[in-house]
Amino acid sequence: MDFYGFYTGKIFDAYTFLGAHLEKRGVVFRVFAPGASRVSLIGEFNGWQEYGMEKVYDGNFWECLVDNAGPGMMYKYKIYDRRGDCMDHCDPYGYGMELRPNSASLIRDMGGYTFGDSGWMACRSDCRDRPLNIYEVHFGSFRKPSERADDWYSYEEMAGILIPYVKEKGYNYLEIMPLNEHPCDESWGYQGTGFFSPTSRYGTAEGLKAFVDACHQDGIGVIMDFVPVHFAVDGYGLANFDGTALYEYPNTAVGVSEWGSCNFMHSRGEVRSFLQSAANFWLSEFHMDGLRMDAVSRAIYWQGDPGRGVNRNAVEFLRYMNQGLKRLHPTAILAAEDSTSYPGVTKPVPEGGLGFDYKWDMGWMNDTLDYFRTAPEYRSANYHKLTFSMMYYYGDRFLLPLSHDESVHGKATVLQKMYGEYGGKFPQARAFYMYMYAHPGKKLNFMGNEIGQLREWDEKRGQDWNLTEYPVHDAFSRFMEDLNALYLGHPALSEMDYEADGFRWLDCHQEEKCIYAFERFGGGECIIAVFNFSAREQEYGLPLGKGCKLRVLLDSNRDIYGGSGRCGNAVLEADEDGAAVRLEAYSAVYYLKV
């Protein structure tokens, strides 16, 4: 390991040196604990009796060799602080951990699996000029073997369950909520203890590799949530690791997050190297196709509050990490969950940006959902909530998210957010999704949204798949499947997402009618999207040049989708006054120029 690089926060491979590593002569254990007065290794191989570790290199690292240790065995570090008090800790660089509430690390042979996805890896793309349709999943609650909260399918079992479903429904990428080890199910993985340990809830590191490999061989990319901002407070984890604030801030004013977890101290080079190495670990060892960085706003600003100013050390960390990861993995996707207006999140680092590929467009999400919550008689006053996104859109490369955060904690699911009673929510949801998929930007949809789930997501329960037994939900599922297929099959909806020539308003001043119309371009085709978000049927003159011919690609009001079946002509031709179309209440239509 490059020790100078480790201390200065420049390396991405600290996990190849620190942790437990299999060698011919046994297993070598190494841990970084500069504040410790003594460190002992305890584990299955020595009857959990203390095995003294020696100071090595500059005296901040501790090491020992155990000749009878092997894969699958449990171990911990017993770390004594300067006062002589001790605490048992899991390995910060451990490749596996016990299932909670137990906390031992597990020795893993990371070289035991051979991937068969070379074709996928050779052709992989960051999708800037391709469709990127992401299905966000919580691994433990997509489906469950039983009604028990702690009963889960394994990584290998989920390959046979999840991959066929995702392919059938028209998604080409998965985004999986954090798979690093975490002690509390309710944290969903966002408060981690094992940053190099795939959670044992679903199996082993080898099992996760097999899952990703299977996804790739079926043409599905895999993005994983990664948390570079904070970690769990549990005493066996990173907190007060060697009797000092080694990974966290010593000052609680900035050291404790809004979730009660410990904030990483990004001004320390050792912490930067730890996090950069963890990010590289998931991309390298598991062939993940990208990382969605959680809570980036809490790194950009102190405690996520712009009023407290920019955390310049954390910003520099993000820049250096992203630049290094893109150098090592040019086709991997790096996405930022950032709700702030901080400039240049997706701008290249040499140009002063943070170097992400995509930024979640939280403004679009909030404005659009607020609009659809509003009673139709008040939508005219809020008309430009749906046009505002294109005023700032080209400032960053945006991704349009409808994530798990929009389906929990009393916020209601996407379908429930639609105004009105049960039956009236479905046509609005169909029109809403057609607006989303025609709008520039890559797409993300959380599991259950595609069947019109009504119950808020609960990590203890599987999704309500029985809903598709009801005709209205089955029809909505069919609609989403067709919409996704159309999105994947028509380059006009994705190829020029981030070019000004890829989008043009045809009409964004029908405030009283709540009608919108715009064009999308790409791949030699033009798609026109028209929306009526009012509660009444309306006649509308689509402003097109004489002789312009259009063919309907998708109509949200088709009876097979649960609509009334009253649809306009399949082929239109404009005259001097444009193309006359009849728009049903709460409807949307895509036309292809022919």
The DSSP line for 234-282 is -TTTTTTTTSS-SSB-S-HHHHB-TTS-EEB-TTSHHHHHHHHHHHHHH
Report the distance separating Cα 478 and Cα 204, nearest Å: 36
Report the distance separating Cα 353 and Cα 319, nearest Å: 7
520 membership: H or E segment, kind and range: strand 515-522
Nearest of 200, 220, 198 to residue 209 by alpha carbon: 198
Active-site residue identified among 136, 213, 270, 337: 337
Active-site residue identified among 175, 181, 285, 294: 294
Q: What angle do CA 363, 367, 372 make, to 5 degrees?
A: 150
Sequence-distant (≥ 6) Cβ neighbours of residue 278 within 8 angstroms: 15, 180, 195, 196, 226
- Measured in degrees and rounded to the nearest 5, phi and psi for residue 105 equal -80, 160
Report the distance separating Cα 59 and Cα 104, nearest Å: 25
Q: Is 337 a catalytic residue?
A: yes
**Can you say how many angstroms the Cα of residue 35 is from the centroid of all Cα atoms in its chain?**
36
The DSSP line for 198-234 is E-TTS--HHHHHHHHHHHHHTT-EEEEEE--SEE---
Nearest of 196, 329, 191 to residue 273 by alpha carbon: 196
Cis peptide before 101 (omega within 30 of 0): yes
Question: How many C-beta atoms lie closer than 10 Å to residue 422's C-beta?
Answer: 12
Sequence-distant (≥ 6) Cβ neighbours of residue 297 within 8 angstroms: 304, 337, 338, 339, 340, 342
DSSP state of 492: G
Report the distance separating Cα 223 and Cα 375, nearest Å: 37
Sequence-distant (≥ 6) Cβ neighbours of residue 408 within 8 angstroms: 456, 457
Alpha-carbon distance values, 463 to 45, 148, 205, 391, 468 (Å): 42, 14, 26, 37, 11
Alpha-carbon distance values, 132 to 337, 441, 484 (Å): 16, 9, 10
Nearest of 176, 246, 574, 188 to residue 409 by alpha carbon: 188
Sequence-distant (≥ 6) Cβ neighbours of residue 366 within 8 angstroms: none
Q: What angle do CA 458, 460, 464 make, to 5 degrees?
A: 60
Q: Following CA atoms 460, 465, 470, 472 in sequence, which dihedral angle do they give, to the nearest 10 degrees? A: 90
Q: Is 294 a catalytic residue?
A: yes
Residue length of the chain: 594
Question: How many C-beta atoms lie closer than 10 Å to residue 411's C-beta?
Answer: 13
Q: What angle do CA 46, 51, 55 make, to 5 degrees?
A: 150
Contact in structure between 228 and 319 (CB atoms under 8 Å): no
Q: Which residues are catalytic?
A: 294, 337
